[in-house]
């Protein structure tokens, strides 16, 4: 045996072992470190959804689990077939929407809704009740607001690569993802750690995680916190949030429809009685026929009012006429002429108290009078004074005309002086009405 050779080989192996093993260990440590670092974004993302994070790069709040899972909107299968004559509905241009109103419907009584009276523009809608007065369904217009792809102060979204990724997407795409996209990732406990790592690394890129966090931000900014389900209605291009109704959740289903149009979001709330075929049928009809249409003051009400004027008198003083005027009024909410005519014509009909009540309330809150033609008026002192001045002025002009006495315009320096003359006479005459049958509310 050649012992010197064996010895040299043995020494060489030992040296190689001493060199290679540390190198392999270093490589493994570096590789493990890189692998571990690569998992940090997934860990932070999981924390952002489950607990919320507050860092210089991104900040998220804890939201209900419903805000993490979007879906496509669908109707449940009806237990029974409910077929209605199309003539029982008429599509009206109401505020910023076109939607079906029950029209000469034997099952429904329609009552106008006027809510949030303290706002400059109250919310308007319609409540449908059965013949016994039980609420079946109602809708109410909501807020409209700008839809911004706002990155905010989050440094993560403002990094050039991610900023470009987000802003390259269309508003329509982001709007859809806000309602449809599922931004959850699986729990490693249910998959096993190795399978979990393989899956998330393959399925979720860093770009995807950042975009999901941006969608989460938009849901926090734009969607109601009480939503327990969000979905995208693909057929119509609408977003829908189902709201949890405290104390009434077992009786009613409440949904808010969001419509995106030219950078603005318009909303409409729909409340439906559960387990009622009539309510479900109207819910489907409204959802399938709801569309956006611009409301233009001074223009949108004209065709509706023209149709109303063509109705027979008996229809104008009934619920049918009220629906026309109410739709027209939704475009001219600050013009009292529509409201006044609607109230006074309804008063001439029968059994319209239910429809009149919310209109009285709004009229009094907004204009200080109910515009009622009944014996007793509810009006504040200012509205009463204005009314009496107007009445006295009209009486003065009528008396002058009856006496065939022409008013000599040369007596007045200007038209304003002429009007001032009649106003003074009217104010003097109004002091003699102390016993008039009018309810005054100071």
| Sign of the alpha-carbon torsion through 243, 245, 250, 252 | negative
* Euclidean distance between CA atoms 21 and 336, whole angstroms: 91
pLDDT value at position 12?
Answer: 55
**Is residue 55 predicted with pLDDT exceeding 90?**
no
pLDDT value at position 294?
Answer: 95
Query: Do 124 and 174 belong to one domain?
Result: yes
- Tens of pLDDT, residues 56-65: 777 877 788 8
> Which of 92-96, 160-164, 395-399 has maximum average pLDDT?
92-96
Query: Do 286 and 310 belong to one domain?
Result: no
- CA-nearest of 339, 350, 347, 342 to 321 is 342
pLDDT value at position 244?
Answer: 79
Query: Do 114 and 242 belong to one domain?
Result: yes
pTM: predicted TM-score of the whole model, two decimal places: 0.76
Residue 371 lies in a domain: no
**Is residue 434 predicted with pLDDT exceeding 50?**
no
pLDDT value at position 396?
Answer: 60
**Of 4-18, 309-323, 360-374, where does mean pLDDT reach its minimum?**
4-18
pLDDT value at position 171?
Answer: 95
Q: Of 309, 344, 366, at which residue does a domain stop? A: 366
Query: Quick one: pLDDT band at residue 188, thresholds 50, 70, 90?
Result: low
Answer with the residue of higher pLDDT: 412 or 157.
Answer: 157
pLDDT value at position 343?
Answer: 87
Query: Do 18 and 133 belong to one domain?
Result: no
Query: Do 261 and 389 belong to one domain?
Result: no
Query: Do 161 and 214 belong to one domain?
Result: yes
Cβ(229)–Cβ(243) under 8 Å? no
Query: Do 140 and 278 belong to one domain?
Result: yes
- Tens of pLDDT, residues 16-37: 555 555 554 454 444 444 444 4
- Tens of pLDDT, residues 206-257: 889 889 999 999 999 999 988 989 999 999 999 999 997 776 657 899 999 9
Instruction: Supply the range of the domain harboring residue 383.
Output: 378-441
What count of other Cβ atoms lies within 10 Å of the Cβ of residue 256? 22
pLDDT value at position 441?
Answer: 35
Query: Do 166 and 210 belong to one domain?
Result: yes
- Tens of pLDDT, residues 361-374: 888 888 888 888 87
What mean pLDDT, rounded, does the chain reach? 78
Cβ(220)–Cβ(156) under 8 Å? no
Residue 57 lies in a domain: no
pLDDT value at position 257?
Answer: 97
**Is residue 138 predicted with pLDDT exceeding 80?**
yes
Strand-pair category, 291-292 with 97-102: antiparallel
* Euclidean distance between CA atoms 341 and 304, whole angstroms: 14
pLDDT value at position 170?
Answer: 94
* Euclidean distance between CA atoms 54 and 187, whole angstroms: 22
- Tens of pLDDT, residues 119-131: 778 899 999 998 8
Query: Do 176 and 66 belong to one domain?
Result: yes
Cβ(102)–Cβ(130) under 8 Å? no
State both tokens at 370.
Answer: 């109910």
pLDDT value at position 250?
Answer: 72
Cβ(383)–Cβ(363) under 8 Å? no
Q: Of 237, 266, 294, at which residue does a domain stop? A: 294
Which phi-psi region, left, alpha or beta, contains residue 184 (left: φ > 0; alpha: ψ -120 to 50)?
beta
**Is residue 409 predicted with pLDDT exceeding 90?**
no
pLDDT value at position 46?
Answer: 76
**Angle at alpha carbon of residue 197, lines to 194 and 199, rounded to 5°:** 105
> Which of 141-145, 175-179, 404-408 has maximum average pLDDT?
175-179
- Which residues is 94 bridged to in the sheet? 97
């Amino acid at each position: 045996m050649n012992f010197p050779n064996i010895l040299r080989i043995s020494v060489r192996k030992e040296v190689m072992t001493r060199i290679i093993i540390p190198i392999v260990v270093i490589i493994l440590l570096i590789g493990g470190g890189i692998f571990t670092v690569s998992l940090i974004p997934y860990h932070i993302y999981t924390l952002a959804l489950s607990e919320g994070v507050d860092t210089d790069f991104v900040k998220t709040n804890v939201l209900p689990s419903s805000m993490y899972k979007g879906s496509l909107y669908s109707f449940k299968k009806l237990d029974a077939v409910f077929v209605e004559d199309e003539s029982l509905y008429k599509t009206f241009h109401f505020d910023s929407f076109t939607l079906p109103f029950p029209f000469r419907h034997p099952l429904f009584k329609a009552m106008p809704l006027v809510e949030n009276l303290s706002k400059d523009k109250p919310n308007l809608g319609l409540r449908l009740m059965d013949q016994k007065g039980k609420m079946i369904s109602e809708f109410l217009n909501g807020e409209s607001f700008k839809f911004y792809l706002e990155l905010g102060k989050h440094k993560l979204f403002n990094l050039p690569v991610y900023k470009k990724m987000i802003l390259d997407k269309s508003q329509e795409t982001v709007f859809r993802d806000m309602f449809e996209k599922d931004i959850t990732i699986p729990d490693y406990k249910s998959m096993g750690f190795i399978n979990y790592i393989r899956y998330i690394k393959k399925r979720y890129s860093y770009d995807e995680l950042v975009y999901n966090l941006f969608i989460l931000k938009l849901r926090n900014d734009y969607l109601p916190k009480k939503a327990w389900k969000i979905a995208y209605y693909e057929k119509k291009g609408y977003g829908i949030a189902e709201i949890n109704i405290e104390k009434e959740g077992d009786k009613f289903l409440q949904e808010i429809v969001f419509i995106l149009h030219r950078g603005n979001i318009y909303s409409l709330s729909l409340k439906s009685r559960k387990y009622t075929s009539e309510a479900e049928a109207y819910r489907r009809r409204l959802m399938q026929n709801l569309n956006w249409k611009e409301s233009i003051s001074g223009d949108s009400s004209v065709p509706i009012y023209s149709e109303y004027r063509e109705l027979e008198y008996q229809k104008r003083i009934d619920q049918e006429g009220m629906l026309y005027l109410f739709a027209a009024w939704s475009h001219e909410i600050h013009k009292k002429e529509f409201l006044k005519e609607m109230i006074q014509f309804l008063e001439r009909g029968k059994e319209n108290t239910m429809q009149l009540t919310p209109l009285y309330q709004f009229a009094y809150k907004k204009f200080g009078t109910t515009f009622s033609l009944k014996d007793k008026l509810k009006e504040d002192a200012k509205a009463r004074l204005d009314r009496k001045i107007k009445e006295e002025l009209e009486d003065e002009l009528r008396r002058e005309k009856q006496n065939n006495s022409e008013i000599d315009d040369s007596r007045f320096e200007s038209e304003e002086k002429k009007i001032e003359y009649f106003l003074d006479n009217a104010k003097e005459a109004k002091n003699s009405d102390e016993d008039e049958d009018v309810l005054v509310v100071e």
